[in-house]
Amino acid sequence: MLELEAAGLVVRTEEAWAFTTELVREAAARGILGVQRRDYHRLVSEAIEATYADHLEPWYDDLATHCALGARWIAAARYAREAGLALEKAGRLEDARTRFQRGLTWLASAVDPDDHDARVQGEAALNLKVGSLSLLLGDTERGMRAVTLALDIASDANLPWIEVRAHLELGRRYAAEGRHRLAAAHLSTARAQAALEDDTQVELEVFEASAALALDQGRADEAEGLWQQVLTRAADTPTLSARCQSGLATLWLRAGQTERAEPMLQSALDAARKAKDRILEGRVLNNIGLVHSLSGRHDEALVYYRRALEVREGIGYTRGMVINHHNIGDVHFQRGDYARAHVAFQRSYELAIQSDWERGQVLNEVFLTYLDAHFGREPADHLEDVRRRALALEDTTTAATARWLRGRLHMEADELDQAAEVLHAALVEAEQLGLAPVQTLVERTLASM
């Protein structure tokens, strides 16, 4: 090393030796030193595989790094994927996405023709994971681009087991956006492919997603039938069963049947925690908060909403955070604490903008517009504009809520005839859509006139 230092090729730092220039480093890497370095890393990776063959999980990150430095590109990507899956299960979504993206980077170096099929399959699978996590993290543009790319690759390369999951992911995403026709098209394709592949797990996940779409479109009986069907067949899949229990509870809450929903949600919470599914745990905690809120137990509701928010902040699930901040605002609103309600709605609205979720924006705009009109900062007619946006997004609950709030504004302005007309229209709308919570709010407002 001293001779190399004297020749001006390396330099001593406080902790280690380093090449003097990037040119020297590249020359060394391309020469015998680079070959030896790759061989050593390859040997280390193979030694780890042989020594810990029965319990590789703690070594996935190390294996991925050594395989990459040893030019074992396919193996490096595979271990990066395994590391990402373990981190995703632990609720570390951003770290998981980083591993999946790293795997894609390594796959790009796998230029050996013999690795072509493995590389293509890896690109499809890893793009799907990058996309699905990006969507959860609120990175919508990147998420949709990656999932669509995964679908294109899987379709071109005849990888139906990946293609069906890409259709499922897109179906869920379009449903959340209120783009029901596109959602139905993707879920229908996913269902057909799952049946052809004889993949029961994916087929049940498609049924579960289809149930959520049916409920959002007002087809409650169809939704309940699908969720019950999945529950019957998914007894050995705790996470999927818990998602169905949460879905059924949501359906019953919309119908005002809190006494049916509460025990179902407690069962779902136990299953989510047993499975260590933080995303599902946050959803169930939020729904338990809804039970308390609809039952008038506002303090208990806030406890559960804040627990759900803590879980979702911990994993970076932005859209879940939008919902929880909104629900916290709703509790303050029902109590008449408009200042705190405005703060919570505004925070929820900002997060919805950040995650490019238009439905989340409109959900909060309804209440923010009402509060601005209530304090004379905005014309009451603006609520009708927000209602039209909600209808365009096929968000019937928010649209009905906007009509109820407009009726309240007329009542507060002593425009009682107009208030009665709007509130009765809101009541009919809520009854027809089976929105028991909105119906109750309208009835209370009418009773107070």
pLDDT in tens, 323-362: 999 999 999 999 999 999 999 999 999 999 999 999 999 9
Closest CA to 79 of 100, 93, 64: 64
- Return d(Cα 58, Cα 145) in angstroms, integer: 31
The mean pLDDT value of the chain amounts to 92
| pLDDT > 90? residue 32 | no
pTM (2 d.p.): 0.84
CB 173 within 8 A of CB 184: no
Residue 238 is predicted with a pLDDT of 86
Q: What is the pLDDT of residues 174-183, one digit of tens each?
A: 999 989 999 9
Residue 4: predicted pLDDT = 72
Question: What's the CA gap between 264 and 259, in Å, rounded?
Answer: 9
How buried is 58 (Cβ within 10 angstroms: 0-12 exposed, 13-18 middle, 19+ buried)?
exposed
How large is the average pLDDT for residues 184-188?
96
User: Residue 433, SS3?
Assistant: helix
Residue 33 binned pLDDT confidence (cut-offs 50, 70, 90): low
DSSP state of 20: S
Q: What is the per-residue pLDDT across 53-68, written as a single tens digit (0 to 9) for each?
A: 899 999 999 999 999 9
Nearest to 357 by CA among 152, 54, 138, 108: 138
Phi and psi at 118, nearest 5°, equal -65, -40
The residue extents of the domains of the chain are 21-158, 159-236
Is the predicted pLDDT of residue 191 greater than 80, yes or no? yes
